[in-house]
Structure 1
């Protein structure tokens, strides 16, 4: 068994070394302090030579964070060759405000938007507006490239996996260019989801969202909030490393590289990295996938 496994690993690595068509994108969030601002710009500078398809910047529900999103987008636009894609959420703005904002982005030269419904504030009724409405609105404003969210393990608020799939189809039919998944660790769940999307006639790319883990306790909070299954083996990998950040980083890189390799073998050609504004792990995974400075794709 050992020898057979070693052969498989070698074959997989051999195949990866010849891949030249992998595309990547990176997500950042607006910094809330001078120190975090420095970290963010170091990360952008480090990852820019990998020529990502785009870099997205998340969007807070309150206007202060929204302004910070605009500033980051503007600076990426002015100081780098990268395509900056702002997140835009529906729940905290009227259609009129959203149209104005989308027009401002278009006039700034932004051509790609990540369109999300956003989290409904606690205690508020569920608005009968969906991400598909935002996609349609953006399509009216300009010929944007539009990415939307997908949930391999089902959206936490969805009535069922089937309802969730129908919702994704609605977003794609409204004009979305690609779907980016919520992060996951259950590769089978992603592959099954991709098959179900194809069967439902969703022809957009279902790009896996990869969260390279450095802080396991923080990951558990994220996963709990988003109802994402954290498998036992992952718990086992990080067990005993709460006070050992150096080893956590190595283990986190290894987990993500192994996942990315299996996904690449299954035909995935585009990856989206939730960087948490750090570059090292995403850079290492891209390197392992053959995405390197000076190489196209």
Structure 2
């Protein structure tokens, strides 16, 4: 894909002027949370939702544990976000250890609770490296799940995309073909697994265009403040962490405030480079913390929406 004149001009601007100076805030954001296990974690989650709501996210999503292990907590969290924060909320749903009838029941409960957006995933078995085994009466993959959900209610459906290829995929071509099947089954957009190099996304975008895939692809952003934790996440999904990242966080284990500043700097510059390449939609994996996602959004020019502030008041 050949960069347009505007993209080249934007790239020069990113180099020749203050990196975050004068950005118009023409971005859209979405945020991912996980359902809390304790009252303390619930308070932390709700604090994050409250802080991020004024940024008027396109949607917020809530994850779903392997085998539906967080089913009730996911449902309760999504329902509360819709009812109290009055934000569009998407619920994750997976194929793992569930029959088609069980998935129908969950999806119908979501619809009744006001959920109109599902993030449909094949899911993993819960044990690292364990191969996915479909339930005998369930869906074999995410494409089948998407098609099944479309027969239940007119959900908007997001699916997963893998800029560095899913670990279970036989090849890059097979991975792209799987994404295409999910979109053809009725998904309207894809959210990428996290990655740490802008070039990874730009190359992926070119490959999608070459494959005839033109659906919106939201880059998934994981601001890293704990490299060990990020490595654990990355090992499960095939993402590559640059070696230089270790050096940046070395010696900061006992300096949490400094670590947060370094994390914000690294992630913000990363997002600024994506912006220079034409990206205007960002999906943040928040880990139920608001500070980093809010700071990055602010640096990219996004400011609180007054109408959202009034609704929250």
Please give the TM-score of this superposition, normalised by the length of structure 1.
0.92
Residues 97-154 of structure 1: CA distance to partner in whole angstroms, max 9, x if unpaired?
1122212211222110100000035566633711011111111112211111111011
Equivalent in the alignment of 2:17: 10
Match among 54, 65, 68 for residue 59 of structure 2: 54
Residues 234-280 of structure 1: CA distance to partner in whole angstroms, max 9, x if unpaired?
12211222222111100100011001111011111100000000000
Equivalent in the alignment of 1:25: 30
On the 8 A contact 1:50/1:295 being kept in 2, the answer is no
Equivalent in the alignment of 2:216: 205
Q: Cα distance 1:26–1:125, how it changes in 2: closer, same or farther (>3 A)?
A: closer
1:295 Cα shift?
6.5
- The answer to whether 1:86 aligns with 2:86 is no
Structure 2: how far apart are the matches of 1:124 and 1:161?
Answer: 19
On the 8 A contact 2:158/2:187 being kept in 1, the answer is yes
Residues 219-241 of structure 1: CA distance to partner in whole angstroms, max 9, x if unpaired?
12111222211112212211222
Residues 166-214 of structure 1: CA distance to partner in whole angstroms, max 9, x if unpaired?
1001111111111111111022111101110111111111111000112
Equivalent in the alignment of 2:296: 285
Structure 1 portions without partners, runs of 5+: none
On the 8 A contact 2:20/2:300 being kept in 1, the answer is no
Equivalent in the alignment of 1:141: 152
- The answer to whether 1:66 aligns with 2:77 is no
Please give the TM-score of this superposition, normalised by the length of structure 2.
0.88
> Which stretch shows the higher mean deviation, 165-174 or 231-240?
231-240
Structure 2: how far apart are the matches of 1:20 and 1:249?
Answer: 23
Equivalent in the alignment of 1:113: 118
Residues 13-60 of structure 1: CA distance to partner in whole angstroms, max 9, x if unpaired?
34xx34343110000001111111111000000000000000000001
State the secondary structure of the residue aligned to 1:104.
helix
Equivalent in the alignment of 2:188: 177
Structure 1: how far apart are the matches of 2:98 and 2:106?
Answer: 10
On the 8 A contact 2:79/2:114 being kept in 1, the answer is no
Structure 2 portions without partners, runs of 5+: 1-11, 309-313
Structure 2: how far apart are the matches of 1:175 and 1:197?
Answer: 17
Structure 2: how far apart are the matches of 1:99 and 1:107?
Answer: 12
Equivalent in the alignment of 1:44: 49
Q: Cα distance 1:247–1:67, how it changes in 2: closer, same or farther (>3 A)?
A: same
Equivalent in the alignment of 2:6: none
> Which stretch shows the higher mean deviation, 234-243 or 278-287?
234-243
